[in-house]
Amino acid sequence: MQEAIALLREHDLLRVIDTPLDIDLEIPHVAYVEVKNPDSRALLFTRPVSRRLQREYDIPVLMNVFGSHEATNLFIGKPADTIAEEIEELLKLKPPATLGEKFGMLTRLFHLKNVFPKRLSSRGACQERIMQGEAVNLYDLPILTTWPQDGGPFITMGQVYTQSLDGERKNLGMYRLQVYDRNHLGMHWQIHKDSANFFHEYREAGEKMPVSIAIGGDPLYTWAATAPLPHGVFELLMYGFIKGESARLVKSITNDLYVPEDADFVIEGFVDPEKLRIEGPFGDHTGYYTLEEAYPQLEVHAITRKEKPVYLATVVGKPPLEDKYMGWATERIFLPLLKTTAPDLIDYVMPENGVFHNLIIAKMKTLYPGHAKQFMHAFWGVGQMSFVKHAIFVGDDAPGLESYDDLCDYILDRVQVDNLLISEGVCDALDHSSDAFAYGGKLGIDCTADNVHFPQKELLEDDALLELMQELEPTVEAIKQYKTYTKTPICLIAIDKKEPVKNLYERLEPVKKHTKLLVFVDAGKNDLNNPYMLIWRIVNNIDATRDIFLQKEFIGIDATNKGEIEGFPRRWPDDTDCDATVIEDLRERGIIDVDEDFLKRFYITKSG
């Protein structure tokens, strides 16, 4: 961490804040605002305090460490596309035919020996101080409470190390970890993760499961914890592959798990498979709270640390956030692995305001009718791609995937009912919009062919179209049209919902000749002039099997919050809104420098 801080400082990517700030809300709110700036920097809080616990900390808090493309490349050590090329070369490796090729392969294989972690027999810097028994106290760490409705403080950048019951398979993951008391943590490993699979092995055997959680050290450990490697592949192999040197590991004090020797903190303990505990709520990276669910809890047996540690944390919520840059690196590096399942894939992008698993846009070479729809099934059946809710496929003649405005025009010129595929399958456990937990609707759109040949709509100005709609449906409060020059004009409609949206869509059928795609959102919660946040809202709030209404040349999308009106069987969560009083206080003290327009643009507070 000290080297990371020095590297950030050297490249003018670090802001040091010496003002005492509270670990509850204040520090996270500062980081939440900072990362939304186009020139965001990492933040080092040198004087964290807790009014709740009535204490000051001599442990600095570092946040937003991956808060820009430049910082992410610094910690990876080389361009992400270069790493992708190296992976692609390995995947295409063929037996050498000449002496020169043999020497080249030997050199490459010799380099690969550094992929594997190295176990040290000595103790590490992470064990310079050891707390066990009564000395264990999670409140000695400046663990943050990010959101007003959070169930408590949460560790947000913990590297969670686990292994299978037989010890043969290792896993590194990053899951949120709720602090219940001085020696218990909630383990939010989701049902599709390797750690959860290991947990089931221990539960069937009636044995307690060892867990070690590292915080800090080389930032690349933290990124590796998020890497979507195939099932059973230890994520620290990516660290060795990227760095060209082995991760150096030491054995935990109270269990048999190995952790990076240079971590700043290590929390060790055991999970009793018979003891579950309610975890949450927590304001998560979807921009919504995930609700209370029963998860395993870790009984902490030891906390070890460096003599002078730094506490690493992140903040999640509405985009853009630090995961934008971490996800960008993952997206680039793992493209070759995705191509092994979908060989005609050219490239893909997961926009951060699509919250990654909610929206993917992929460019492909189409070879035969239905090729794109075949791809949809392939994507929905591959590892973490199976969680993607909305997938749009474009042809190799499409604009660049990050030229979003031009790409949107291309897509809208190719949208029609016949080009849609509505399916269902597994969803991320954080998804709140489907009727069932972790299972719901999926939408695929085939935009690979220019096959839309319907007459252009008879366009109206916004005021005239609004007047017509209000005659048909009085609950319509405002509208905003987008991309009216394309074959799929969009009309955003803000409503005061009194009944299921499908009824409104049917009553608005007379406007069919003036527009093609109606998108309904709740009035008062959405700014119709803010397409960035509208996309965030829409892809979060819809389940394709329930919320998409189809007629030829007239498509409706219900992106409103769901509840009793629709008979929604679950509790709809709130948005992650910063505490407006805290934000205003930080502005008055000069800790954050943003205007009202900035707060409104990113829906930072409830009033915004």
Domain of 208 in residue numbering reads as 106-308
Which burial class, exposed, middle or buried, applies to 163 when counting CB atoms under 10 A from its CB (0-12, 13-18, 19+)? buried
Hey, what are 204's tokens?
A: 């069937």
Contact 202, 271 (CB under 8 A): yes
Which of 408, 424, 447 lies at the terminal end of a domain, its last residue? 447
Please indicate, yes or no, if residue 119 is contained in any of the structural domains. yes
Q: What positions carry a catalytic annotation? A: 284
- In a shared domain, residues 256 and 394: no
Angle formed by the axes of helices 322-333 and 80-91, to 10°? 30
pTM score of the predicted model: 0.94
One domain for residues 301 and 178: yes
* pLDDT score at 154: 98
Beta strand pairing call for 548-551 and 490-495: unpaired
Question: Is position 371 within any domain?
Answer: yes
Q: So what's the pLDDT on residue 194?
A: 72
- Does any domain span residue 101? no
Helix (H) or strand (E) holding 82: helix 80-91
Within this chain, do residues 419 and 477 fall inside the same structural domain, yes or no?
no
Across-strand partners of 42?
14
Task: Give the domain-ending residue among 275, 308, 341.
Answer: 308
Write out pLDDT tens, residues 156-194. 999 999 999 999 999 999 999 999 999 999 999 876 667
**Which two three-digit tokens encode residue 147?**
């959101």
First to last CA, the chain: 36
- Check: CB of residue 317 under 8 Å from CB of residue 32: yes
Per-residue pLDDT at 428 exceeds 90:
no
Mean pLDDT over 367-371 rounds to: 91
Q: Output the pLDDT for position 110.
A: 46
Residue 115, both tokens: 């992929």
Average model confidence (pLDDT) across the chain? 93
Averaged pLDDT, 111-129: 90
Query: What's the pLDDT at 34?
Result: 97
- The CATH number for 378's domain is 3.40.1670.10
Does 288 have pLDDT greater than 90?
Answer: yes
Task: Please report which confidence band the pLDDT of residue 87 belongs to, taking 50, 70 and 90 as the band edges.
Answer: confident
Same domain, yes or no: 544 and 592:
no
Residues 135 and 283 in one domain: yes
pLDDT confidence band for 608 (50 / 70 / 90):
very low
pLDDT of 607: 52
User: Stretch 219-244: mean pLDDT, rounded?
Assistant: 91
User: Is 537 found in the same domain as 486?
Assistant: yes
Tell me what the mean pLDDT of segment 199-203 comes to: 93
Residue 69 lies in a domain: no
Average the pLDDT over 491-498 and give the result. 97
Give the least confident one: 47-51, 315-319, 452-456: 452-456
Q: What is the mean pLDDT of residues 306-334?
A: 95
Q: Clarify whether residues 353 and 502 are in a common domain.
A: no
pLDDT higher than threshold 60 for residue 102: no
pLDDT in tens, 23-43: 999 999 999 999 999 999 999
DSSP sequence for 135-146: G--GGGS---B-
- Indicate the number of domains in the chain: 4
Per-residue model confidence (pLDDT) at position 192: 67
pLDDT for residue 191: 66
530-548 pLDDT per residue, tens: 999 999 999 999 999 999 9
263: in domain: yes
Please check whether residue 141 lies inside any domain of the structure. Answer: yes
Name the 3-class secondary structure at 116.
coil
**Dist CA 198 CA 377 (whole Å):** 28
With 70 as the cut, is the pLDDT of residue 359 above it?
Answer: yes
Q: What is the largest CA-CA distance in the chain?
A: 81
Query: Is the residue at 571 inside a domain?
Result: no
Task: Tell me the mean pLDDT in the region 137-155.
Answer: 98
CA angle 229-230-231, nearest 5°?
115
Residue 386 has a pLDDT of: 85
Task: Let me know if residue 17 belongs to a domain.
Answer: no
Residues 371 and 423 in one domain: yes
pLDDT of residue 31: 98
Kindly report, residue by residue over 235-261, the tens digit of the pLDDT. Answer: 999 999 999 899 999 999 999 999 999
Confidence class for position 94, pLDDT limits 50, 70, 90: low
261 lies in the same domain as 357: no
User: Are 421 and 523 members of one domain?
Assistant: no
Length of the chain counted residue by residue = 608
165 and 300, same domain (yes or no): yes
Same domain, 562 and 581: no
Q: What is the pLDDT of residue 232?
A: 82
